[in-house]
Structure 1
Amino acid sequence: MATTVAAALAAELGLRTGADLRPAIAARPAAEPAEAPTRPAEVPGTMRPPRAILPVTSDISALLPHAGLATVTAITATRRGATSLLWRLLAGPTTAGAWCALVGMPHLYPPAAVAAGVDLGRIALVDPGTLVAEAAGTLAEGVAAVVVPSEGLTPAQTRRLTARARRSGTAIVWWETRLVAGADARLDVARAHWKGLRENAGRRWGAGRLDACELEVSARWRSGGTRRARIWPYGGDAGDVVDLRSRPAAELRRGEPR
């Protein structure tokens, strides 16, 4: 029944399934022999390449085991800046034409996603009430990536959804408020820095307009690897941030390029 619903949903909305997406690795030459039907056992501390890898932005790729979004990723939702990291993670797949669904997360702010590079035309926001597990399971066979809050599922349901996603090639991003076992990569925001604020005597929070955000992100892989990177979900990298205080007023009036 769930498979039929997923297929109907995909047909109606024009969704691309995980199986439709090509891995983000170079295609093999036509003359190369096909892979043997049996595979050697995995070496401890390594992860077998997934069936499909979704492209991500260059700043995110260094944090992920296969340099792309694949199978099971978790973002620690309780960290400040986690939502900005989530939007940046989805920027690559959506701009590449892949459909992504957010299930049971009705309080997010979609315009922030646009600022982070997300194509909202490829985002499905689904609020199924208490039926988070059922909705996520159905969508796991009709979209390329599904974002699911971990608190909406029991441990048994998370295991079933993970197994289903691995079979279909759909990537799952756990919005992790409750620890989920088996994530291939777990992303944590260590610090969040905003550019544009300035001191303002007499006001507690200062003044100015926020024009860029920098996140210090750490990643822990199931294979045991760790990575760190600086992500700019809004405003580009440090070289792209405009500090208006450092530019002469005459230059600002002329509108000269940097």
Structure 2
Amino acid sequence: MAGRMVVGSTALAELVRPASGSDPTGAHQLLPVLPELAGLLPNRGLRRGSTVAVGLGHPARSGSTSLMLALLAEASRAGSWCAVVGVPTLGAAAAADLGIELGRLALVPHPGPEWATVVAALIDGVDVVVAAVPGTVSASVVGRLAARARQRGSVLVPYGRWAGADVTLQVIRGAWEGLGQGRGRLRRREVTISARGRGAAARPKEIRVWLPGDGSSRTGRVSSAGVVPPSGGPAVAAPPGVGRTGSRRAALTVVGTSD
């Protein structure tokens, strides 16, 4: 199934009811993320009730969609429902390739003028709600949606410019690999992801990763000379899902980290 396409208030209500019943106690306060992204988050996961924004990067959207999907992948595989609002170009194949369970993915490609109402309704019953930010959103709407996420125990993931997020992840640099002298094919992209926020996330962090991963699992700190491998450290394990079926490739491969 290529995700649930949600159109109209009736379909939205039908989605929210079963999703909200999946974890009625809210016992699991931390939703998992891929190990490669864990170091960017203050709790090494998606804390229920938090707001984790994904910026559009420079140039706009360069690697940002892949980052947004990668952020959902581990929670989706662990059984959480996810919803994506306002991204009509989102491809189910890309989502599945990055590890998202399509049977627990709701898509609202065109929320219309009642964008805030749609997002609020999904927050009531879906574990992780990605919401593409439609231009300028008023401070009152920002505050109201963040408060609703805290109350309901959902994770709100604004996709675009968003003031006041607990953490903002953003692709700040990227370069494709695979093209030779006028021929070849684009195979993967090395991107630098930054994390900035408030409280426990106030200290800026950066990592360099391959999107998609190549399974080689290289890691190290970033210096002026490039990537310095950890001395005697263990190899980084491949992301969950790699090796289980023999066909899924790694969603991310860490190249370097920097605090």
The unaligned stretches of length 5 or more in structure 1 are 24-51, 201-206, 241-258
The letter of the residue matching 2:70 is R
State the 1:99 CA deviation: 0.5
Conserved? CA contact 2:26–2:153, under 8 Å: no
1:62 to 39, 45, 48: 39
Number of aligned pairs?
200
* 1:154-180 C-alpha deviation (Å, 9 max, x unpaired): 32112101100011110001111x3x2
Aligned to 1:204: none
Deviation at 1:18, TM superposition (A): 6.6
CA 1:119–1:193: 2 relative to 1, 3 Å: farther
RMSD: 2.5
Alignment CA distance shift 1:139-1:158 (3 Å): same
Correspondence for 2:210: 232
Question: What amino acid sits opposite 2:67 in the alignment?
Answer: L
**What is the CA-CA distance between 1:143 and the residue it aligns to?**
0.4
2:100 is equivalent to residue 123 of structure 1: no
Identify the residue that residue 151 of structure 2 maps to in structure 1: 167
Question: CA separation of 1:212/1:67 partners in 2, compared to 1, >3 Å: closer, same or farther?
Answer: same
Equivalent of residue 83 in structure 1, options 42, 65, 68: 65
Q: Deviations over 1:33-92 (max 9, x none)?
A: xxxxxxxxxxxxxxxxxxx22100000111111101131011112341111111111111
Query: Cα distance 1:239–1:62, how it changes in 2: closer, same or farther (>3 A)?
Result: closer
Residue 215 of structure 1 pairs with residue 191 of structure 2: yes
The alpha-carbon distance between structure 1 residues 154 and 197, as it changes in their structure 2 partners (threshold 3 A), is: same
Partner residue of 2:169 out of 163, 182, 187: 187
State the alpha-carbon separation in 1 of the partners of residues 32 and 157 from structure 2. Answer: 14
Percent of aligned pairs with the same amino acid: 38
* Contact 1:6-1:139 at 8 Å conserved across structures: yes
SS at match of 2:84: strand
SS in structure 2 at match of 1:102: strand
Which of 63, 67, 84 in structure 2 is aligned with 1:102? 84
TM-score by length of 1: 0.69
> Is the contact between residue 16 and residue 121 of structure 2 (CA under 8 Å) also seen in structure 1?
no
Relative to structure 1, is the Cα distance of residues 150 and 134 closer, same or farther in structure 2, using a 3 angstrom cutoff?
Answer: same
Aligned to 1:141: 124
The answer as to whether partners of 1:95 and 1:119 remain within 8 angstroms in 2 is yes
Q: Hey, which of these two has a bigger chunk of helix by percent?
A: 1
CA 1:111–1:18 in 2, change beyond 3 Å: closer, same or farther?
same
CA contact (8 A) 1:217 1:228 kept: yes
The secondary structure found in structure 2 opposite 1:131 is: helix
Q: Secondary structure of 1:125's match? A: strand
**CA 1:83 to 1:6, structure 2 compared with 1: closer, same or farther past 3 Å?**
closer
In structure 2, C-alpha distance between the alignment counterparts of 1:20 and 1:234, rounded to whole Å:
35
Secondary structure class of the residue paired with 1:158: helix
Residue 240 (structure 2) aligns with: none
Higher Cα Rg: structure 1 or 2? 1
Aligned-pair distance for 1:228? Answer: 1.1
State the one-letter code of the partner of 2:131.
V
Measure how far apart 1:225 and its partner are.
1.4
Amino acid at match of 2:205: R
Distance 2:107 2:213 in 1: 25
Letter in 1 for 2:51: V
In 2, Cα distance between the equivalents of 1:219 and 1:9? 32
Structure 2 gap segments, 5+ residues each: 1-9, 219-259
Deviation string for 1:124-152 (max 9, x for gaps)?
00132121101100010110011112226
In 2 relative to 1, CA 109–8 (structure 1 residues): closer, same or farther, beyond 3 Å?
Answer: closer
